[in-house]
Structure 1
Amino acid sequence: MTDTLERQHARSIRPEASTRPRTGVRRDASVDAIRVVLLGMVFVLHAMMVGVGVGPDGPVLENALEHQAWFGPVSWVVQIMPLFFIVGGFSSLTHWRSMRARGATPAEYVVARIERLVRPAVALVAVVSGSLVALSLAGMPAELVGIAGFRIGQPLWFLGVYLAVSALVPAMVRAHERAPVLAPLALFAGVVAVDVVRLSTGVDAIGFVNLLLVWLLVQQLGFHLADGALDRLARPTLAGIAGASLALLAVLTVAGPYPVDMLVNLNPPTVCLVVLGVAQLALFQLARPRIRAWVERRDAARPISFVGERAMTVYLWHMPVLVGLAGLALIANAAVGLPLPEPLSFGWWASRPLWLVVAAAVVAIVVLVFSRFERTSRPRAGGRSTRGAAPGNGATAIAAVSAVAGVAVLLVAGFGPLPAFLSLVLLWFARRAPSRPVRRPAVRVSRAIP
């Protein structure tokens, strides 16, 4: 039944979207390119948020864009996480189907994904926590160290959620293949139900159930993108879907109970992110032919691949670099009087281009240093250990939970010595899940990030 469905899906996909390189994982120039663009947007957004200065009580490290009324409409453009998970769903589906066709089990896929995502995270936790401890011993105020750790840890929510949804890819692909319409509708009903309960009770903690439901639903949209469902839609239809989604989003936020700021809707995730994701999906589908043509015309596939292979390293390390540069600015202010313009003042805006250039250059250097932890990650023969064993389902589930918990500890408790140590233990355990011996040929796994 599954083979029949896959043949039907394959016939519906356009030839240019279904070419397969030797790795066996289907690549799409538009998906690879937009992932790099989205990564750049995340960096620019976080760089613009850095507000550093000296107040009456000492150094200040704050989010310069927080609580700004004008930022709400802007967030509709810069909140790109829905599209990030959509293109992740595209790549995850093609990656898992490629492994499955060569005999890999769901557990092997999950262990390979854990290995790929956790390795660079271990390096980050070790270096950042060690650096913060050193700064504390050197006399930096505990409050400032805590703020630095909090700011560095904020983007890690993505890693935790991405680990969780990646671990569920085989199950969600099965649901997609058996019920391509019912599966996302069921998830959508769950998202709406969580929002209704949260808004009616006023208990925000209930909304964090949508950390899983919202992003699983958005990932399912990526499955439909990979299967070519959107290729069959006319351009006016896609434009209509985008317009209707944005109109609904306006009703939900301007007249409805949700905030206009899409970054506020991120914590906890709400149905607004799903609606925004549908609009982004339609707009991306409209732009895909031009993106492919641009990649071919500029011969940009190689630099795009270069960045893509280091994407998780860029994501994990850009915030430590930004916080570190902010700290250096404070030191320079105290030592040589380096001016620190008031956030959002004319001088602050005028200094942003230089700030972005310097930050991008330092991020590039740091990524070149630490990308070896990501690029040298070689999943153990499709999830198997080097001893020729494949992971069991139970051990794989424990490993996935351990990996997510290792990130959650940092999000809740910060980069203190004890939380960092516990996080490292959990992440290390996630990579050393017990395995059972099997007798099957090894499966080669692509190192590309979905």
Structure 2
Amino acid sequence: MSLSTELRSLASTVEARTPAHRDRAVDGLRALALLSVPAGHWLVGGFTLDEAGALHNSSPLAALGALAPASWLFQLLGVFFLVGGYSSALSLRRAAERGTPATTWLRGRLVRLGRPVLGVAAVWAALLPPLSLAGVPGATLRTAAVLVVQPLWFVGVYAVITALTPYALRAAERAGLWSALPLLASVAVVDALRYGPYAEAMPSWLGLLNLLPGWLFGYQLGLVWGVGRLSRRAAAWLLLGGGLALFVTLLTVFGYPASMVGVPGEARTNSHPPSLLVLALAAAQSGVAVLVRERLAALLARPALWTPVVVINLSAMTILCWHQSAMLAAAIPSAVLSGGAAVLGLTSAPATVGWVAARLMWLPLFAVLLVGIGALTRRFEQPWTGASAGGRALAGVLAAAFSLYAFAVV
């Protein structure tokens, strides 16, 4: 059987198993947001190679500031939280109709989030000693730990927000779009204190107050959408227009950094913790998502387009947890075997346009490595029914050990 025949057979099978009520547009938006995470990290996550052959994190944005607007296209966490809130609203309502307690629903969600995180942490804890014995420099291992942990903060924040779903859903049902306004106002106040006239007198931890409301904002918009309070095009245009207006104002009048991700050496960052600029972008993206929903659903009625969306969604946590490992799977052997010579676009300093062009050529390899790693590790997303109690306990111990190591080096 040829490859094309197998792909057509797969598409036919997926199409036949898709329920008629499935919201393909929302799944398509989630897949797009998911793919933006590895694409963004692979494009802005570079390395430098020191004289000892050790890898250190770097970013092309530090030397090529003109590329900052590209981060607006890859920062789709607002869309991810939007569709997460939308799906949670429908799921929790269905659970209530079946008589399932909200605590049971929440436990199931948190377990599905936790299994893959536990898996990646345990595997890396087991990998660090043999990699060290094989001659990989300690600095490279510390760099790897930072990169592996980098996407996992998102899972932790998402878990906390998910735990708030029953309360946030009631607010969405009662107040609609107004329920998101206090979150926006809270972040605006904290930003005013952080960056306003009295910024020097403010404590350094003040920005952490934006973590919850900053990321809950997009999720709350999704809940509003899920309860039918964001389906009118007028509301979507309001989000799009208002978000764009606020985004431009913050950039041009208040001097917010243009990059949506952290830039080494810069004192201010928009994403860690989220600034008001992140919420403005999330509002605009949410407006676009609502406006394109019907057209996107029509496109995804085609089995050839729908099948990859299904595959991506089924591997969501695998993609989030392992995409940095895919890049490291190419960079670490290169650094060890190259004899100290940097490879353009992979281990060379990300300081030139040539590096960007070369990195684009490396992306297919990273994608292939992620598919290969995912084929082995996707089992962590499934219930660990085949694992013994001792195996699960060992995974917990290894994950805890890696967490302590990562905490020490981050």
- TM superposition score category, shorter chain reference: 0.7 to 0.9
Match 2:369 to one of 362, 366, 381: 362
Is the aligned partner of 1:414 residue 2:410?
Answer: no
Q: 1:185 aligns with which of 170, 181, 191?
A: 181
Q: Deviations over 1:12-54 (max 9, x none)?
A: xxxxxxxxx9999963111101111121121111111232343
Pair 1:315-2:327 in alignment: no
Give a deviation string over 1:93-119, Cα, whole Å, max 9, x none: 111111111111121111101111111
Look up the match of 1:86: 82
Q: Distance in 1 between matches of 2:164 and 2:236?
A: 29
Alignment of 1:30-429 (within 5 A): 30-56=25-51, 58-67=53-62, 68-199=64-195, 200=199, 201-234=201-234, 238-239=236-237, 241-263=239-261, 264-334=269-339, 341-376=348-383, 410=403, 414=406
Fraction of identical pairs, as percent:
31
- SS of the aligned residue for 2:56 comes to strand
**2-structure distance, mates of 1:326, 1:337:** 10
**Greater alpha carbon shift after TM alignment, 141-150 vs 59-68:** 59-68
Q: What SS class does the counterpart of residue 52 from structure 1 fall into?
A: strand
Report the residue type matching 2:142 in the other structure. G
Structure-2 change in CA distance of 1:181 and 1:245 (3 Å): closer
Query: Residues of 2 paired with 1:337 and 1:52: CA distance?
Result: 10
- Please report how far the alpha carbon of residue 323 of structure 1 lies from its aligned counterpart in structure 2 after TM superposition: 1.8
Per the normalisation by structure 2, the TM-score is 0.81
1:76 to partner: Cα distance: 1.9
Moved more, 359-368 or 55-64: 55-64
Comparing 149-158 with 198-207, greater Cα deviation is found at: 198-207
Q: What is the distance in 1 between the residues matched to 2:384 and 2:293? A: 31
**Are the aligned partners of 1:110 and 1:166 in contact in 2 as well (CA < 8 Å)?**
yes
Letter in 1 for 2:22: R
Change (3 A) 1:276 1:25: farther
Moved more, 312-321 or 142-151: 142-151
Tell me whether 295-304 or 78-87 shows the greater mean CA deviation: 295-304
Provide structure 1 residue ranges, at least 5 long, that are not aligned to the other structure: 1-20, 379-402, 420-450
Alpha-carbon distance in 1 for matches of 2:278, 2:343: 40
Structure 1 position 84, deviation (Å): 0.9
TM-score by length of 1: 0.74
CA distance in 1, matches of 2:368, 2:144: 21
| Aligned-partner residue type, residue 192 of structure 1 | A
Partner of 1:62: helix, strand, or coil? strand
Match of 1:9 in 2: none
In the TM superposition, what is the alpha-carbon distance from 1:334 to its structure 2 partner? 1.9
- Does the Cα contact within 8 Å between 1:25 and 1:94 map onto a contact in 2? no
Provide structure 2 residue ranges, at least 5 long, that are not aligned to the other structure. Answer: 1-15, 262-268, 386-395
Q: How many residues align?
A: 368
Instruction: Tell me the CA shift for residue 142 of structure 1.
Output: 2.1
What residue identity is the alignment partner of 1:414? A
**Greater CA deviation, 330-339 or 105-114?**
330-339
Q: Secondary structure at the match of 1:414?
A: helix
Distance 1:254 1:325 in 2: 40
Is 2:25–2:293's contact at 8 Å kept on the other side of the alignment?
A: yes
Distance change >3 Å, CA 344–CA 27, structure 1 → 2:
farther
- Report which stretch shifted further, 175-184 or 94-103: 175-184
1:39-88 Cα distance to aligned partner (Å, 9 max, x none): 11211111112323433454333233242321332222221111111111
